[in-house]
A and B are shown apart, each in its own frame.
Chain A
Amino acid sequence: MKTLRISLTVNGEVVEREVPARLNLVDFLRHDLGFTGSHVGCEQGACGACTVLVDGETVRGCLLLAVQADGCKVETIEIMEFEDLRAAFHRLNALQCGFCTPGMLLSAQELLQAKPKPSRAEIREYLSGNFCRCTGYQAIVDAVEAVARARGG
């Protein structure tokens, strides 16, 4: 089995590892580094549970190989500082089982950074790559909308 040496920054720390070429990024983060906050729901890029930030942009951790993240800056839910977003999700019950939640939060944060005052339809559209099986999505949209309003002052 072919392995390659990679060096990257994960959640602020430089990580150097010899990894199998076929190992995907989310499995590397979860099982090699112990950052289990990103989840694996489909391994086909469809459900969004594995969403992480690579060089500041959301990517599917299951569609990127760990070796492709060589030299990159990777960030996961564990170090995200958006306490207002977390608090709104908590207060409005925008999660049930919580499996989709880390990915949902990262997508929501990215939307709010790109578009500080999104409409409900725009929130729904932007989050349409993150599958939630428990909620009716409405509380999630409510939470993102509430944060947008609060951040907008």
Chain B
Amino acid sequence: MSIGAEVPRDRAKRLLLGRGRYVDDISLPRMLHLAFVRSPYAHARIEAVDCTDARALDGVVAVLTAAEIADAVASWRAEHKLFPAMAAPEQFALARDIVRWQGEAVAVVVADSRAVAEDGAELVAVTWHELVAVTDAKKALEREAPVLHDDMDSNLAFTTEVASGNTKAAFEKADHVVEEHFRFHRHSGVSLEPRGIIAEFEPSENRLTVHQSHQTPHQQQDLYARLLSLPEHKVRVICPDVGGAFGLKHHLMADELVACVAAKLLARPVKFIADRLESFLADIHCRDHEVTARMAFSPSGEILAVEVDDLFNAGAYGQYPRTSIAEGNQITRLTGAPYRHEHYTANLRMAFLNKSILGHIRSVGHPIACAVAERLVDMGAAKLGLDPIEVRRANYLHGDDFPRTSVGGVEFEYLSLRGCLDKALTMIDVPGFREEQANLRAKGIYRGLGVGTFVELTAIGPEYYGQGGQHISAQETCLLRLEASGDVRCYTGATDQGQGIDTGIQQVVSDTLGVPLAAIEVISGDSALCPVGGGSWGSRGAALAGEAALRAANTLRRNILSIAAGLLQKDVAALNIEDGTVVEAGISHMTVAEVARIGHFQPYAIPDGIPADLTVVERYATKDRLFLAGNGVQIATVEVDVDTGIVTPLRHLVVHDCGRILNPLLVREQVRGGVVQGIGSALYEELRYDDDGHLLTGSFADYLVPMAGEMPDIEVAHLENPTATSELGAKGAGEAGTAGAVSAILNAVNDAIAPLEATIAEVPVTPPRLLKALGQI
């Protein structure tokens, strides 16, 4: 069996040799380069754009503004039919009349090299009329606030309430209530490889070919076809090696669309690679929520009710095509989800403001839902004088609680929370830590331990975007092709940005079909070659593309065995394929290669009426199953330097249940990578703006990311409770680390500073914030 084995990735060998092929490694004949003219203001009227000097510069081929591309590309609105009341202002590839965030592009210079394009961009003279910027949701929703969009009465993009039971009465009756006001600041995915694209247009065929660092080639194919009025089968989107994505590369980005427009207008290949400053300015951002929440307890520590109010500082527009609602939606549906309680109310107000567009980045909404609930549980336990770990265990959904639709409306087939907690407690000696903690406190050393329980929504079903009206596939299809040699080519709609889903699928096909791993090649990331699929986002690869591969492999196996049975005059039910050979009760009859040779070149030898296709396609589409929920527990220990405000992570452990694991080697490090991103957002990472909407953190010197030196070893263990909704039994695994890390760190920091009568509920927990919380500054 190769499923469940620690199989290293084939693709990694090439990357280790420096022979990767990322978008910027590709050059095409007569290729041109782009540099954008971006708004220095968060909110301004464009009075005039003078391109005369830029156009005169040697090496500049064209300068394009909104007016010049108006006929070549359509506008769009980020609408979602499940949320019809959500505002969806019109968006343009290049800003017309008004810019609404710092970094929004107003013109693009196309030149022989990026350097010359940048020279040209400096020569574009824009006359601006600066407008008052709205940079904070609270102010944005005040009556006198300037309204960003002409067709809106206010900056309120959307508001909703999720309610179950009688929350008001439950709080009124409750013996104990804890409440906290949280602030989660803005950050982003920060892939090491920035966004990038090469667009190539062949006018004689009306054909657009795109190489793009992206997660969803078919989505992009559809969008470019529609927005550029091209026939869809003339648009091909290839995602070569992708240098990290984490959600920020599964959207339409105006910059990349402009590259396609330029390629079409100029009929020459056009490359755009974002530099780091424009990545921080114009990538999709995430989080930026202000949450007030409370939790009601019985005297024995039973959680009775939860109430959440989320003020969502969205960007200037909704992200397209998915919209920006999901982060708020996850917070309002997931907060407190691991716990058994009947009364729940969550309110969301989402405001447009003058910052870059905010949307889906790894673990959408989860870290906030999780941190809010886990902090409140610790606060409740402290108030009642109970052990926070035992309060969790007693309140976790377990056993007969499943299957269950949570009070937030999320379906849980099964959660193994108690199992994960028990396992975690075998990995860390909590009483021993408490003893050491007390001893160290006497010496002025402050350490803390924090628990974070998470529920992880993965492998979204087709209803969410299908009913929303988006052209986003949430089903997966796998095409398997038995070559005449007996080797197998596997084409999937999932994409691999390093997480290793290609290898996972290879393992599924190998086991199901009965051929060695080395005989299988997985081909992904090409909208023309691969079956229409969703790409990789929201932890969907193993659960959906893996199941589709299993189905296709079953069909191909049946066909191979049918042919062999026909040729051998045997009962097909008696035959099996093992290690590339057709066997009967352990005796080899013929190789898969022989079947393939006859199947392709001597088909007349095969009896009529049996399934003999050696290229097969199968799909996997779920129905009425919105998510597959995984779950887990993280425990972090930290040391807080109360003089400097620096938090040092000491230990971090994760016990995770994502159903059947295809490849523990890959899952483990993916979980660890998620934890590190979570620790980053808990302690370091923040896109800070001043009150006028000017980004203050446009470099790695200002926007701090976790490096090896600050990170602890991260112990990862798994429970495996396969989902019964598929034959493979896999759930997604990519959100887990990020979902739970913030809560564990935040609780650990608060545990550390508890003896100083201080608390903190603002992340990232930077030294100044912590020193302020401690009353030091």
Contact surface of A with B, Cβ cutoff 8 Å: 20, 22-23, 30-31, 35-44, 46-47, 49, 76-78, 80, 86, 89-102, 105, 120, 123-125, 127-141
A22-B115, A98-B15 known; A42+B699 contact, CB < 8 A: yes
B192/A131 in contact, CB under 8 A: yes
Contact yes or no, A30 B673, CB < 8 A: no
Question: Cβ of A131 and Cβ of B498 under 8 Å apart?
Answer: no
B587 interfacial contact with A, CB 8 Å: no
Task: Known A44-B699, A132-B192, A134-B673; judge A93-B9 contact (CB<8 A).
Answer: yes
B8 within 8 A of A: yes
Q: Tell me if A97 and B244 are in contact (CB < 8 A).
A: yes
Binding site for A on B (CB under 8 A): 8-9, 11-13, 15-22, 24-25, 27, 115, 189-194, 241-246, 273, 275-276, 497-500, 665-666, 668-677, 699-701, 705, 707-711, 713-714, 737
Please give me the residue from chain B that is nearest to A77 by CB atom: B18
- Whether B18 and A37, one on each chain, are in contact in the complex, defined by CB atoms closer than 8 angstroms, is yes
Residues of A within 8 A of B498 (CB): 95-98, 134
Q: Given A90-B8, A136-B673 in contact, is the A36-B25 Cβ separation under 8 Å?
A: yes
Residues of B within 8 Å of A30, CB to CB, are 24-25
Residues of A within 8 A of B713 (CB): 120, 138, 141
* The 6 A-B residue pairs with the shortest CB-CB distance in the complex, in nearest-first order: A37-B18, A136-B672, A98-B15, A96-B498, A99-B243, A77-B18
- A37 in contact with B17 (CB, 8 Å): yes
Tell me, rounded to whole Å, the shortest Cβ–Cβ distance linking A31 to chain B: 7
Q: Name the contact of A135 in the complex, choosing from B497, B669, B709, B710 (C-beta under 8 A).
A: B669
Nearest-Cβ distance from residue B639 to partner chain A, whole angstroms: 15
A75 to nearest B CB, angstroms?
A: 11
Chain A residues lying within 8 Å of B20, measured Cβ to Cβ, are 36-37, 98-99
Q: Are B709 and A128 in contact (CB under 8 A)?
A: yes
- In angstroms, Cα B190 to Cα A100, docked, is 13
- Indicate the member of A41, A47, A86, A92 with the most B CB atoms within 10 Å: A41
Whether B12 and A47, one on each chain, are in contact in the complex, defined by CB atoms closer than 8 angstroms, is no
Tally the A-B contacts, defined by beta carbons under 8 Å: 182
- Chain B residues with CB under 8 A of A134: 244, 498-499, 670, 673
Q: Are A133 and B677 in contact (CB under 8 A)?
A: yes
Closest to A136 in B: B672
Contacts of A133 in B (CB 8 A): 189-192, 244, 246, 673, 677, 705
Tell me what chain A mostly uses at the interface: helix, strand, loop, or mixed.
loop
With contacts A41-B193, A130-B708 known, is A96 near B700, CB below 8 A?
no
Q: Is the CB of B17 within 8 A of A141?
A: no
Bound form: Cα–Cα A129–B241 in Å: 23
Q: Check A47/B18 contact, CB under 8 A, given A98-B243, A136-B669, A138-B714.
A: no
Q: How far is the CA of A148 from the CA of B616 in the complex (A)?
A: 48
A124 with B16, Cβ < 8 A, contacts A20-B115, A47-B192 known: no
Q: Which residues of A contact B19 (CB under 8 A)?
A: 37, 78
Closest to B189 in A: A133
Q: When the two chains form the complex, which single residue of B15, B500, B666, B701 contacts A101, counting CB atoms closer than 8 Å?
A: B15
B93 CB, min distance to chain A CBs, angstroms: 25
A39 with B699, Cβ < 8 A, contacts A78-B17, A91-B8, A133-B192 known: no
Interchain CB contact under 8 A, B22 and A99: yes
Most buried by B among A42, A49, A97: A97
Chain B residues within an 8 Å CB radius of A49: 192
Kindly report which residue of chain A lies nearest to residue B710, judged by CB atoms: A128
Are B708 and A140 neighbours in the complex by a CB distance under 8 Å? yes
Distance, CA A39 to CA B21, complexed state (A): 11
In contact, B17 and A77 (Cβ under 8 angstroms): yes
Known: A97-B192, A97-B241, A97-B243. 13 other contacts (CB 8 A): A31-B27, A37-B19, A39-B243, A46-B699, A47-B276, A77-B17, A90-B13, A93-B9, A127-B708, A133-B246, A134-B244, A134-B673, A137-B708
Distance between B168 CB and nearest chain A CB, rounded to angstroms: 43
